[in-house]
Amino acid sequence: MDFNHPQTNFILKPQDFGKDFVFGVSTAAYQIEGAHSVHDKGASIWDQFTSKKGNTFNNHHGQIACDFYNKFEEDILLMKSMNIKNFRFSLAWSRIIPNGIGDISQAGIDYYNKVIDFCSECGITPWVTLYHWDLPQALQDKGGWTNRDIVSWFENYVQVCATHFGDRIKNWMVLNEPMVFTGAGYFLGVHAPGYKGLKHFLPAIHHAVMCQAAGGRILRNLVSDAFIGTTFSCAQTTPFRDTPRDFIAAKKADALLNRLFIEPSLGLGYPTEEVPVLKRIEAYIKPDDLKNAAFEFDFIGVQNYTREMITHSYLVPYLQAKIVKASKRNVKTTLMDWEVYPPSIYNMIKQFSQYSGVKKMIITENGAAFTDNLINGTIEDVDRLHYLQSHLEQVYKAKKDGFDVEGYFVWTFTDNFEWAEGYHPRFGLVYTDFETQKRIIKASGKWYQSFLGYIKP
């Protein structure tokens, strides 16, 4: 199919990114699978969190979501028809080990085996995230990420996944955006498990850092030819005003948003100089921890959606810095109230490439939610199309400037459950009718299909 949208002048071809560059789509178990209680699946913290009124937009939950659990063949075939050759998805810990630790569910293993094998039948390479935020509730009942024992629970889980799937899965990501699941889940209380305050946040950070490296080591030992990464959320931080105070505030926000998890994984410890309150994390650090927090990842998953403008604020405890919302800045935004600012992805690639320990980067998520209008069975999502193209142009620029970026995954394949925001913001290349579970490829999806399918004349 040749897709020439009248309003675009995007001229790049996949080949321009080099022969090893991978293109794909990203998803996560709780956001798409549904089937929350089939067979012996255990509850996750998101099952629990969404069961309480007021935690999510209109009390939405992921009990059915995109019903990917039952529709995976159809969805993977659709992916294939769209020329998508790389599929990133996550494993639901509580589907594999219902209580987080202990008995393994054969039904859970069988299910992921079917998904993996069907991908390979369709010529699609699976990229697996071990943890995308859906901790088994049974482990949360013991404190979850705040309990040091999570390191051994997680090691056991990784070992189970590596031994069952490592013969066919070669591309692994240990954690998805630890800053978001610890920050939103254990400090702000807006994501599962809904905890607030430093006393939850600090131990959760440190234990996630320990698990990140421990998971990497287990994969390295058990999976031959593994390509191992972990993913980080990131956003360029810009001082709102050209003042020394806003400049310092932006540095602090950068330490928190962009450096907190990558630096210990590179053996650099925590960025305590910019954020002194982080020194309190020492209470949770055991001898040798900082050494064991480091792991030589083969790649870093860069996940970027926007930039943040930061201003000084005495009112914000610990940080004295705050984000100036995009809606207050008269800029183009997505439905998440995130500024559309493509250079942020370039600047984050550049920033991460300055660490000598970062070998390769893959954009494991980038995408946008805009209002989608279904008119006569089609969705002309021009804003999303432009968003994706303009970000890809920045990735291309980064590559041309010599930064080692080797892949780009769109968030996301089908519209899905967007955490606290429920089903309201749609990020998909493919529209999901949540009543009928019908899929409709949007204009952005058709563009991606024709871009990926380009064959040199």
Which residues belong to the active site? Answer: 177, 365
E-only strand ranges, 55-168: 86-90, 125-131
Cis peptide before 129 (omega within 30 of 0): no
Buried b (16+ CB within 10 A) or exposed e, 115-133: bbebbeebebebbbbbbbb
Minimum distance from residue 302 beta carbon to ligand BGC (Å): 12
Q: Is 171 annotated as a binding residue?
A: no
What binding mask, one character per residue, do residues 297-336 give for ligand BGC by CB under 6 A, x or -? Answer: ------x---------------------------------
Number of residues that bind ligand BGC (CB under 6 A): 11
Q: Is 312 annotated as a binding residue?
A: no
Cβ distance to ligand BGC smaller for residue 146 or 303: 303
Minimum distance from residue 233 beta carbon to ligand BGC (Å): 5
* Neighbouring C-alpha atoms within 13 Å toward the C-beta of 97: 22
Minimum distance from residue 269 beta carbon to ligand BGC (Å): 25
Of the candidate spans 42-50, 174-182, 197-205, 283-291, the one that interacts with ligand BGC by CB under 6 A turns out to be 174-182
Q: Is 233 in the site for ligand BGC (CB under 6 A)?
A: yes
State the DSSP code for 80. Answer: H
Q: What share of the chain is helix, strand, coil (3-state, %, to 5)?
A: 40, 20, 40
* Neighbouring C-alpha atoms within 13 Å toward the C-beta of 208: 33
Q: Is 177 in the site for ligand BGC (CB under 6 A)?
A: yes
Q: Is 411 in the site for ligand BGC (CB under 6 A)?
A: yes
For tokens 């901790």, what's the residue? 135
Minimum distance from residue 420 beta carbon to ligand BGC (Å): 10
Minimum distance from residue 16 beta carbon to ligand BGC (Å): 27
Q: d(Cα 426, Cα 371) in Å, to the nearest integer? A: 7
Among 183, 418, 428, 443, binds ligand BGC (CB under 6 A): 418
Among 38, 77, 180, 277, binds ligand BGC (CB under 6 A): 180
Q: Is 146 in the site for ligand BGC (CB under 6 A)?
A: no
Q: Is 176 in the site for ligand BGC (CB under 6 A)?
A: yes
Of the candidate spans 175-183, 218-226, 244-252, 278-286, the one that interacts with ligand BGC by CB under 6 A turns out to be 175-183
E-only strand ranges, 152-296: 171-175, 227-239
Cβ distance to ligand BGC smaller for residue 111 or 305: 305
Q: Is 164 annotated as a binding residue?
A: no
Q: Is 176 annotated as a binding residue?
A: yes
Q: d(Cα 366, Cα 412) in Å, to the nearest integer? A: 8
Of the candidate spans 9-17, 104-112, 176-184, 189-197, the one that interacts with ligand BGC by CB under 6 A turns out to be 176-184
Cβ distance to ligand BGC smaller for residue 230 or 311: 230
Of the candidate spans 172-180, 273-281, 340-348, 437-445, the one that interacts with ligand BGC by CB under 6 A turns out to be 172-180
Cβ distance to ligand BGC smaller for residue 31 or 99: 31
Residue 256 neighbours by CB under 8 Å, 6+ apart: 179, 271, 275, 319
Minimum distance from residue 176 beta carbon to ligand BGC (Å): 5
* Neighbouring C-alpha atoms within 13 Å toward the C-beta of 52: 11
Q: d(Cα 311, Cα 323) in Å, to the nearest integer? A: 6
Q: Is 36 annotated as a binding residue?
A: no
Cβ distance to ligand BGC smaller for residue 153 or 181: 181
Q: Is 418 annotated as a binding residue?
A: yes
Residue 44 neighbours by CB under 8 Å, 6+ apart: 30, 36, 92, 93, 94, 134, 135, 136, 137, 192
Minimum distance from residue 66 beta carbon to ligand BGC (Å): 13
As given in the structure block, the two tokens for residue 180 are 């978001």
Minimum distance from residue 129 beta carbon to ligand BGC (Å): 9
Cis peptide before 193 (omega within 30 of 0): yes
Among 25, 28, 319, 395, binds ligand BGC (CB under 6 A): 28
Q: Is 133 annotated as a binding residue?
A: no
Tell me if residue 431 falls in helix, strand or coil. strand
Backbone dihedral angles phi then psi of residue 60, each to the nearest 5 degrees = -65, 155
The answer to whether 362 touches 395, Cβ cutoff 8 Å, is no
Residue 363, burial from CB neighbour count under 10 angstroms (0-12, 13-18, 19+): buried
Among 134, 254, 365, 372, binds ligand BGC (CB under 6 A): 365
Question: Of 101-120, which residues contact ligand BGC (CB under 6 A)?
Answer: none
Q: d(Cα 422, Cα 427) in Å, to the nearest integer? A: 12
Q: d(Cα 31, Cα 88) in Å, to the nearest integer? A: 13
Binding residues for substrate: 31, 132, 176, 305, 411, 418-419
Binding residues: 31, 132, 176, 305, 411, 418-419
Residues that bind ligand BGC (CB under 6 A): 28, 31, 176-177, 180, 233, 303, 365, 411, 418, 427
